[in-house]
Amino acid sequence: MFKHAYWFFSYLGVMSFSAAFAMGFRHDPQAPFANLVFNVILYTVFIAVHILMTTPAFKKAVFGRPEGTTFERRIFVTVSVVTWVSVYWLHKPTGGFAFVAPAWLQFIGTCGLLLSVVAFFEFATFESLGRLLGLPGNELSHSAGAETPLMTEGPYASVRHPMYRAACFIVLCSLLIHPHAGQLLFAVLSAASFLGFVPFEEAQLVRARGEEYREYMRRTPFRAFRGVW
């Protein structure tokens, strides 16, 4: 029973990021500046909790193993989904500019967003996604430590963090659908979080995997955008 409930929750939850940007964030040209401050604080709390839970020190202190476990992954996924949905539910309208996007531009933005979602899950089957989400009965994947295989094939042979690249394209395309200040605020916050997390994550990977990851960095020099960074 639990396995089926978590399957339903986690598979829907993993789509909540894309769904929020597709539906759009609140905007009101007359909204007070305090709303923007509130939204930034709300998002900061969300991302701070997210980052804390990814640290080996936190995993060791709470779960007994710095590399984490499938149980730890389920807790992380649950907290991430609940806090992200809370951000989307609780955020206030942001004031500022707004443009009226023609239908053709919204259509292109929607197509681009959907294509970016496909790119985000390019590696995934239901089975591999179950490992990523820590589904009961599955082995763990995508951990910093050497207990899981290092992803180097497919999109990972092009850049080291293709999922983060796809996430940035999701938020960028959403601005074609909802071209206003509220959408821009959360697009900037989210993209900055993904890209800002890269050096933090790679430091963990180097500590855990040593020369194996350094060799991968030499072989695949770009983090998220080929020829740029």
- Quickly list DSSP for 83-110: HHHHHHHHPPPBPS-B----HHHHHHHH
User: How many CB atoms are closer than 10 A to CB 38?
Assistant: 15
- Domain coordinates in residue numbering, the chain: 2-219
**Predicted local distance difference test score (pLDDT) of residue 128:** 80
> Which amino acid, one-letter code, is at 186?
F
Tens digit of pLDDT for each residue in 94-121? Answer: 999 999 999 999 999 999 999 999 999 8
Tens digit of pLDDT for each residue in 137-164? Answer: 777 777 777 777 888 888 899 999 999 9
Report residue 180: phi and psi, to 5°.
Answer: -145, 170
In 3D space, the residue among 83, 86, 81, 168 whose CA is nearest the CA of residue 133 turns out to be 81
Strand partners for 180: 98
Tens digit of pLDDT for each residue in 7-18? Answer: 889 999 999 999
Chain length of the chain: 229
Helix axes 70-90, 16-23, angle to 10 degrees: 10
Which pTM was predicted? 0.91
In 3D space, the residue among 199, 197, 189, 7 whose CA is nearest the CA of residue 91 turns out to be 189
Integer angstrom CA distances of residue 150 from 60, 69, 177, 205: 21, 17, 36, 10
Q: Is the pLDDT of residue 81 over 90?
A: yes
Q: Is the pLDDT of residue 208 over 90?
A: no
Three-state DSSP class for residue 31: coil
